[in-house]
């Protein structure tokens, strides 16, 4: 079974600063995808960034980037130039590539507070 | 605008009653999913469906039932057999899983059973 661990329950960062959220996962499989989702106070889950395990290049989406270390099974999220609107719960998620519908396995989340 | 709708946003029921949560999508996605979120936990999969008239149990299916009669709709029934039904329920959908594994979520329904 796959597991996802987020070891930082809460983090705080000042506006315009950079913050990194950690995520590790455990799997014996080789073909999978990793995601970061953001859940603001509205509780809508919003996809932030995705990474295919077969790609060595780290994914980037504007101010969001990941550091994907496949051998270490690590998938951290870096938020640059933090904004007040980044305040939210952030969930790391894992999904196996099976060619059919399958579940996302989520971590327990990191609550990020961006302050002035 | 394309998207996923869940209604209602808040739902209150008495213990012992079945209740059905609605999920509709107009994204022409093939697969749909139901997740449950409890405080301090990530989301856990209840049921999923890859095509119409077919669905599979997830990790916590006991006490729940679903149907998939139309591609756009995937309602979830919380039965009286579910021991702890109070939770936040999220519906998601994805395009053909053979092409993309991104799942997109609806706004959720907060169910409170007393």
Largest CA distance in chain A: 45
Position A100 scores a pLDDT of 79
Grade residue B52 by pLDDT with cuts at 50, 70 and 90.
Answer: very high
pLDDT tens, position by position, B55-75 = 999 999 999 999 999 999 999
Task: Using alpha carbons only, give the angle A14, A24, A41 rounded to the nearest 5 degrees.
Answer: 45
User: Which candidate in B29, B43, B93 is best for mutational testing of the A interface (most A CBs within 10 A)?
Assistant: B43
How distant is the Cα of A27 from the closest Cα of chain B, in angstroms?
17
The SS3 assignment for A84 reads helix
Q: How confident is the model at residue B96 (pLDDT cuts 50, 70, 90)?
A: confident
Q: What is the mean pLDDT of residues B97-106?
A: 82
Query: Nearest-CA residue of chain B relative to A42?
Result: B107
Minimum Cα–Cα distance from A31: chain B residue? B101
Q: How many CB pairs under 8 A join A and B?
A: 65
Within 8 A of B31 by CB-CB distance, chain A residues are: 101
Residue B1's pLDDT band (cuts 50, 70, 90): low
Instruction: Output DSSP code: residue A85.
Output: G
- How high is the pLDDT of residue A2? 86
State pLDDT tens for residues A33-75.
999 999 999 999 999 999 999 998 999 999 999 999 999 999 9
pLDDT tens digits, one per residue of A7-19: 999 999 999 999 9
Q: What is the mean pLDDT of chain B?
A: 92
- Bigger pLDDT: A4 or A101? A4
Alpha carbon A108 to its chain's center: 11
Q: What is residue A97's predicted lDDT score, i.e. its pLDDT?
A: 85
A88 interaction partners in chain B (CB closer than 8 Å): none
- Digit-coded pLDDT (tens) for B102-111: 899 999 999 9
Q: What residue in A sits closest to B51 (Cα-Cα)?
A: A101
State the pLDDT at residue A98: 81
Asked if B42 and A103 come within 8 Å (Cβ–Cβ), the reply is: no
Residue B34 has pLDDT above 70, yes or no: yes
Residues A66, A79: Cα–Cα separation, whole Å: 9
pLDDT tens for each residue of A68-105:
999 999 999 999 999 999 999 999 999 988 877 788 99
Q: How would DSSP label each residue in chain B?
A: ---EEEE-SEEEE-TT--EEEEEEE-S--SEEEEEEE-TTS-EEEEEEEEETTEEEE-TT-TTEEE--SBTTB--EEE-TT-S---EEEEEEEES-TTT----EE---EEEEE-
């Amino acid at each position: 079974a796959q597991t996802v661990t987020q070891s930082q329950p809460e983090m705080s960062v000042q506006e315009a600063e950079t913050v990194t959220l950690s995520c590790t996962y455990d799997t014996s499989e080789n073909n999978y995808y990793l995601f970061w989702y953001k859940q603001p106070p509205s509780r809508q889950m919003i996809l932030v960034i995705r990474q295919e395990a077969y790609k060595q290049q780290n994914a980037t989406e504007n101010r969001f980037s990941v550091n994907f270390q496949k051998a270490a099974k690590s998938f951290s999220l870096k938020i640059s130039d933090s904004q007040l609107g980044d305040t939210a719960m952030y969930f790391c998620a894992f999904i196996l590539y099976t060619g059919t519908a399958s579940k996302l396995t989520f971590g327990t989340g990191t609550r990020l507070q961006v302050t002035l | 605008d394309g998207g996923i709708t869940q209604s209602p946003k808040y739902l209150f029921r008495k213990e012992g009653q079945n209740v059905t949560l609605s999920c509709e999508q107009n994204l022409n996605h093939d697969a749909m999913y139901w997740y449950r979120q409890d405080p301090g936990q990530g989301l856990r999969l209840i049921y999923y469906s890859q095509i119409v008239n077919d669905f599979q149990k997830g990790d916590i299916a006991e006490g729940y039932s679903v149907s998939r009669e139309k591609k756009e709709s995937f309602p979830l029934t919380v039965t009286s057999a579910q021991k702890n039904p109070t939770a936040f329920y999220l519906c998601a959908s994805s395009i053909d899983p053979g092409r993309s594994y991104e799942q997109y979520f609806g706004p959720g329904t907060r169910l409170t059973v007393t």
